[in-house]
Structure 1
């Protein structure tokens, strides 16, 4: 068993936010380059791009957490997740419920896949440059989810518990899980 908690270490969290910012900037550049290759972008000035991007991401943030909520409920057979507000972030957790690797991978990747696909469809119909900023901000935020997936790819990990204190990776089935899955 090992535990990952990014939010408990302030220095590590600050470095991670810097990484997210870097990824957002890279995504803006890459998405612009790809978009120019396939379509004509309706340009807005940089201020509107940033303002619409932040406002759009604020809405996407709650949709993102809603998708996590629905996936937690679906894969935990209807149990309600817990919420935590830390560093200004509202996060969804499911303490005392143990997920298999594929379940946790699905829960963490669902918002990235669903929201990015929806934004791609919207952008293909309305090619406003601010949508590129919304998509980039969302991908940057999803790096947070991807960070927690690093333990899923460890061959020793069997079950994952998403607690309010962090992610707990189990190399053996906890007692409660052993009775549930037999």
Structure 2
């Protein structure tokens, strides 16, 4: 068993937020380059891009967490997840429920895939530059999910528990680990 507690370490969370900002900027740049190669972008000024991008991102973040909520409930057979607001980040957790690797990967990656696909399709029909900002903000927001999924790639991990402080990766069944710790 090993634990990743990103939310209890303020310094690590600050570094992670800076990393997210850098990824957002790179995503905006790359998205513009790709979009210009395939379509004519309806350019808005920088203030409107940021304003619509932030408003759109708030809507997308709520949808993102709603998708997590549905998947957590589905894989846990109806248990209610906990929503928490940490340092400007809304997060959904399911303490005391253990997920298999594939279940947890699906829970974490589905919002990224679904929302990015929907935004890409919207951009095909309405190629406003603010959609690039919304999508880029969302990809930056998804970095936390991708960070947590990285632990799933470890061959020794069997189960994952998503707590309010972070993740607990179990290398064997959680019941076996509890029994071995009490000996």
- TM-score class, shorter: over 0.9
> What is the 5 A alignment of 1:2-151?
2-151=2-151
Number of aligned residue pairs:
178
Q: Distance in 1 between matches of 2:73 and 2:27?
A: 31
Counterpart residue number, 2:162: 162
Q: CA deviation at 1:89?
A: 2.2
Q: Residues 152 and 96 from structure 1, CA distance in 2 versus in 1: closer, same or farther, beyond 3 angstroms?
A: same
Secondary structure in structure 2 of the residue aligned to 1:79 = coil
TM (norm. structure 2) is: 0.94
SS in 1 for 2:160: strand
Q: State the secondary structure of the residue aligned to 1:172.
A: coil
TM-score (norm 1): 0.95
Stretches of structure 2 that go unaligned for 5 or more consecutive residues are 178-183
SS in 1 for 2:167: strand
**Does structure 1 conserve the Cα–Cα contact (< 8 Å) formed by 2:53 and 2:133?**
yes
Q: What's the counterpart of residue 180 of structure 1?
A: none
Deviating above 4 A after TM superposition, structure 1's stretches of 4 or more consecutive aligned residues are: none
Q: What displacement does 1:176 show?
A: 8.3
CA drift of 1:88 comes to 2.7
The two structures, once aligned, show a CA RMSD in angstroms of 1.4
Aligned match of 1:174: 174
Structure 1 unaligned segments of length 5 or more: list them.
178-182
User: SS where residue 168 of structure 1 aligns?
Assistant: strand
How far off is 1:90 after superposition? 2.2
